[in-house]
Amino acid sequence: MLNRRNVRVKVMQLLYMESRNSELKFSNLLSLYQTNVEKAFELYLFNLLFLIRLAEYARHDASNRKAKLRPTEKDLVFTPKLGTNELIVSLNKNEALERRFLKSHVASKIERDTLRTFYTEFAKTEHYQNYLEQTESSTQDHQNILLELFKHYSNTESFNELLEDHYPAWSDDKSLVVASIKKTIKILPAPTNFYEEYLPNEETSQYGAELLRTTYYESTSLQEIIQPVLKNWDAERVAIIDMILLKMALAELLHFPTIPAKVTLNEFVEVSKLYSTDKSKDFINGILDRLMKQLAESGKSTNKGVD
């Protein structure tokens, strides 16, 4: 599920942490990196289980309606199919998935009151009312309502606050997780091992570990290469994040030959847009462009496309 941009962000954040705390050793950073990579998959599991539990809350809705002294006509015909349809049932019967949920302890982060609040709000929507009025619902209908349910709550401020309380990296990984949940819904009912597609990719994870290692241990030599290119810029006045991104990009240009140089440049410019100052993207773009030309002239780069 993770891509290289997410991994670059995680490496950048760890190097920034190290810049503020010199007592952190590489072993500490590597351990934190590995944990953060694993947490990305845990975020997927949390979101999937939250969707299941929220859909299942329809059963409690049905029980509450039946318990009324004077049920309305809607109460009498209400069906909890949001939580009993074939898609939710297939997920609940998936023992391998259940073991993943148990191992990650995501269930302990989901509270009944939270589910009730989100379900109550969704129950008011036209999408849900139309779904309930269907005399027969197809697999496509069930998929569509689950997509609407996920869309309804995943964009709310309260849900994002909930995620950030448990997972500080939620804002970094959100787009990937959201896309993965939507993709999962669209293939339900799915094969038993469907979730394995979203486990951390070993090649991508290893790339991040090597980028972290190279930038950490070669920090001084990387800065020595960058310094002359800064020209009128005082290295000490360059934003810390910008210097870290420059070092990471240079490390990638020098030591990761399979990544095209233009990809390296574009990716680090994009990261700077999200995590540094307003002027950083132009600064990063300009310095990296000069570095690429300098490396091409000296023949030092192993990165494809530096010519």
Q: Which residues contact 97 (CB under 8 A, 6 or more apart)?
A: 91, 192, 195
Q: What is the pLDDT of residue 236?
A: 65
Per-residue pLDDT of the chain (307 residues; tens, 9 = 90+): 889 999 999 999 999 999 999 899 999 999 999 999 999 999 999 999 999 999 999 999 999 888 888 888 887 888 999 999 999 999 999 999 999 999 999 999 999 999 999 999 999 999 999 999 999 999 999 999 999 999 999 999 999 999 999 999 999 999 999 999 999 999 999 999 999 999 999 999 999 999 999 999 999 999 999 999 987 766 666 889 999 999 999 999 999 999 999 999 999 999 999 998 888 889 999 999 999 999 988 876 656 554 4
pLDDT value at residue 296: 86
Contacts of 202 (CB under 8 A, 6+ apart): none
Task: Give residue 66's pLDDT.
Answer: 86
What's the pLDDT score for residue 234? 64
**pLDDT (0 to 100) of residue 77:** 81
Overall fold of domain 218-298:
N-utilizing Substance Protein B Homolog; Chain A (1.10.940)
Q: What is the pLDDT of residue 304?
A: 56
Buried b (16+ CB within 10 A) or exposed e, 209-248: bebbbbbbebbeebeebbeebbeeeeeeebeebbbbbbbb
CA distance 101 to 239: 41
- The domain spans of the chain are 24-201, 218-298
So what's the pLDDT on residue 86? Answer: 97
Q: How many Å apart are CA 100 and CA 84, to the nearest integer?
A: 22
Q: Is 189 left (phi over 0), alpha (psi -120 to 50) or beta?
A: beta
Structure tokens at 251: 């490390």
